[in-house]
Amino acid sequence: MSGLRVAIARRIGVSRAVRAGADDVIVTNGGQHALDLIGRVLIEPGSCVAVEEPGYPPARRLFQSLGARVVGVPVDAEGLDVAAIPRPARLIYVTPSHQFPLGTAMSLPRRAALLAWAERRGAVVIEDDYDSEFRFEGRPLDPIQSLDRSGRVIYVGSFSKVMLPMLRLGFLIAPASLQPALRSARQLTDWHGEGPTQAALASFIGEGFLARHIRKTAREYAIRRERITQGLQRESALLDLVPSAAGLHLAARISPGASLDVDKVVRRAATNGVAVEALSRFCGESPAQSGLVIGYGAIPTAKIEEGLRRLRGSLHT
């Protein structure tokens, strides 16, 4: 629907400095659908695809299902280690605004280095900007797509985090050279989306309701984040919080010298009614990193203190 494409292009141009017109927007049934379309166009059996390590498991599994050899690239305090990208890779998937799951942001020098690498290798960068709308500290860096001058970046976005997961709507912005193939793949896999839903979302964005909704929810998420951060800092003997300024989750590694069975903690927490995940679940390479990933998008603010109390009990049992 052209109305939704216009609304998306205007929205991401203002909020994220993404360079795109309505004709550059391909609407998808969520972010995973966007990744599937990209993979169908760019992945051949046996081709090397690089992903972040730790990273987003559904992306890794999707690329593997399309026949790719997926290789994890380490992430440090500045984001993806560009120097560690394998030479055969011609496609790389990154989450630079809020690395999933660690939460770090890719530094500007790393972004420039990644673009330079892609240009030298004739490679394509998939930039998944999945939850950058929720930022609580500092000024966000512009997307890699806004720095791209050689048509190497495909920008992927979704409305699952800013609205609700069951709203299966996302989009991608691709270089002009890739748009015909991606549009063909879109039509072959799903001729069109749900017209009424797309029209409603276009109006919601165009009339300013989405921006208002994000401002309101961001204030609430900031309170939840601060309370969980303070609670985790009190457990510094066991958990080392990874610095993060955005998103709807926090990651914490096991503190140096601490002895903690993370899998047991996760199971005890679940028994106590608290949902946390092991950081190792997001690792595709060995050895897996040890820590916890704690989401706060779904828990009411009023229940956070009780949740932290139960989590502390799970840590010390």
Find the mean pLDDT for residues 34-49.
96
Please identify, among 192, 207, 222, the residue that sits at the C-terminal boundary of a domain.
207
What's the length of the chain?
317
**pLDDT score, position 51:** 98
Please identify, among 188, 207, 226, the residue that sits at the C-terminal boundary of a domain.
207
**pLDDT score, position 191:** 67
pLDDT band at 48 (very low <50, low <70, confident <90, very high): very high
Distance CA 254, CA 141 (A): 29
- Whether residue 164 sits in one domain with residue 33: yes
Which of 16-30, 62-76, 155-169 has the lowest average pLDDT? 155-169
pLDDT band at 193 (very low <50, low <70, confident <90, very high): low
- Whether residue 143 sits in one domain with residue 80: yes
- Whether residue 267 sits in one domain with residue 219: yes
**pLDDT score, position 100:** 95
- Whether residue 220 sits in one domain with residue 109: no
- Whether residue 148 sits in one domain with residue 6: yes
Percent of the residues in the chain that have a pLDDT greater than 90, as a whole number: 79
DSSP summary character for residue 192: -
- Whether residue 293 sits in one domain with residue 190: no
- Whether residue 271 sits in one domain with residue 243: yes
Tens of pLDDT, residues 261-288: 999 999 999 999 999 999 999 999 888 8
Find the mean pLDDT for residues 180-203.
86
- Whether residue 232 sits in one domain with residue 193: no
Per-residue tokens: 61 = 């599994």
| CATH number of the domain bearing residue 231 | 3.90.1150.10
Q: Which of 210, 196, 229, 282 is nearest to 1 (CA)?
A: 196
Find the mean pLDDT for residues 58-77.
96
Q: Is the pLDDT of residue 317 over 80?
A: no
Q: Is the pLDDT of residue 192 over 80?
A: no
Residue keyed to tokens 């950058």: 132
| CATH number of the domain bearing residue 135 | 3.40.640.10
- Whether residue 219 sits in one domain with residue 126: no
Tens of pLDDT, residues 96-133: 999 999 999 999 999 999 999 999 999 999 999 987 78
Q: What is the mean pLDDT of the chain?
A: 92
Please identify, among 186, 207, 228, the residue that sits at the C-terminal boundary of a domain.
207
| Domain boundaries, position 158 | 2-207
C-alpha to C-alpha distances, 152 to 22, 61, 160, 172, 239, nearest whole angstrom:
19, 23, 25, 13, 38
Q: In what order do the strands lie in the sheet with 91-94?
A: 25-28, 170-173, 153-158, 124-128, 91-94, 48-53, 69-76, 79-80
pTM of the model: 0.94
**pLDDT score, position 153:** 97
Residue pair 105/96 in contact (Cβ under 8 Å)? The answer is yes
pLDDT band at 40 (very low <50, low <70, confident <90, very high): very high
**pLDDT score, position 2:** 81
DSSP summary character for residue 6: H
- Whether residue 103 sits in one domain with residue 145: yes
- Domain total in the chain: 2
- Whether residue 216 sits in one domain with residue 186: no
**pLDDT score, position 316:** 85
pLDDT band at 149 (very low <50, low <70, confident <90, very high): very high
- Whether residue 119 sits in one domain with residue 90: yes
**pLDDT score, position 197:** 86
Highest mean pLDDT among 48-52, 199-203, 228-232: 48-52
